[in-house]
Amino acid sequence: MSRTKLTWIVLIALVWTAMLSFGGVAAETVMLYPNIFGDAPASLDRTREFMVMSGPSDYFPPLGATVVLSSVAAVLLTWRDQRLRWWIASGAVVFVACEFLFSVVFFWPRNEIMFVDPVGTHSPEYLRQVAEEFVAGHWVRLAGGAVTAALAFTALLHFSRDTARTPAAHRAASPVPASGSAGHVDSGTGRSTEN
């Protein structure tokens, strides 16, 4: 498989997973969060009962790992192209900072308080405060996902334009006579001549 084809595959995987991640976070914001955090602490108790079989923690970590791995692969494959490299690397840094590091530092402790600690451990006022903090911090994650998806898509567009120009440049540099022609290409002028 050629390096160009492999780069296409990796960039498409990066854009696809980054957009899935952003779309998932956006969908959570609109559909789940009003139900989860709208009436804390009662809504937190309902969430514990509802999300027994699966939840966001089953979806986002594997998807996030795929975004990071495809970002690393894309940076390695496009390392020689400084312009492309920085679009991809910037997207990866934003994703890791907003989706992973921020989650570890900000969201994980609050998830423990709201969904892991036994019911009744914390006062209703404190649970409401933690829920409000969680929703406020969520906008950082949403913005980070949007920026990552936009940067990855921009890199794909640049790569697409660059690879579309390359074959045309090769054809212009080395013209081939039409099939069935008895002529040859004059190396000095690049024009086809008849024998």
What is the pTM for the complete model shown?
A: 0.79
What pLDDT is stored for residue 166 in this prediction? Answer: 62
CB 63 within 8 A of CB 6: no
Say if residue 178's pLDDT is above 70.
no
Least confident interval from 101-105, 121-125, 187-191:
187-191
What pLDDT is stored for residue 15 in this prediction? Answer: 97
Instruction: Give the DSSP H or E segment for 178.
Output: none
Q: Quick one: 8 exposed, middle or buried, by C-beta within 10 A (0-12, 13-18, 19+)? A: middle
- Supply the DSSP symbol for 34: H
Say if residue 170's pLDDT is above 70.
no
Confidence of residue 111 (pLDDT cuts 50, 70, 90): very high
